[in-house]
A and B are shown apart, each in its own frame.
Chain A
């Protein structure tokens, strides 16, 4: 099935730094979702986006639904050690099909 491309694939940052990652697709999506997966666990929903251009925050996390509807961005401000994990974007397309992104692995160095 289709996968959404995430970049970067992995990140190593110092505690306190801001993080930015994105998710792109060649086709249009109606909904963008961002999840975090801790090792050995299932994904947990962080933010859901429903409209092109929408900017939504959840604590130190901010995500945007791209204007073209083909991309989305997630930013994490002032990273802390517990931000470590794999972040997945996901999208729901016009056919109501759900796809996961390829994932961005985040390591925060104390």
Chain B
């Protein structure tokens, strides 16, 4: 099956620093990748849609200057949390779409971000 990786799996940083999370589709090319955020015991909330070669589309209420997304190639999208604060602590999950169908949406293992 298709594999999507995320790096790092866990990160702890100080308040005010920036953190970059990578999402890679290992065995397929993905024109579209998604970034989700998940709080404990809650569902995944879509943050943004990352399209290769173009600007990301952000969901309402998500600050694009706070969460910078770069989809530089068909196998890599990055999410940078800028000037992180404790309220940014969360589980961040990416997904990559193979082909054009949502049933071909494969999720990464997630990145646990803790901001002290």
A residues adjacent to B (C-beta < 8 A): 1, 3, 31, 33, 35, 40-45, 48, 88, 90, 92, 98, 100-103, 105
B102 touches A92 (CB 8 A): yes
Chain B contact patch, size range: 20 to 34
- Asked whether B64 is an interface residue with its Cβ less than 8 Å from the other chain, the reply is no
Q: A40 to B112, Cβ gap below 8 A?
A: yes
Q: Is the CB of A41 within 8 A of B109?
A: yes
Q: Is the CB of A33 within 8 A of B43?
A: no
CA distance A85 to B112 in the complex (A): 18
18 additional A-B residue pairs with CB within 8 Å, beyond A1-B60, A88-B44, A90-B102: A3-B43, A35-B107, A40-B91, A40-B110, A40-B112, A41-B109, A42-B4, A42-B95, A42-B107, A42-B108, A42-B110, A43-B107, A45-B103, A45-B105, A98-B105, A100-B43, A100-B46, A103-B43
- Majority-rule SS of B interface residues: strand
Top-8 shortest CB links A-B? A42-B107, A48-B103, A100-B43, A42-B93, A92-B102, A43-B107, A100-B44, A103-B43
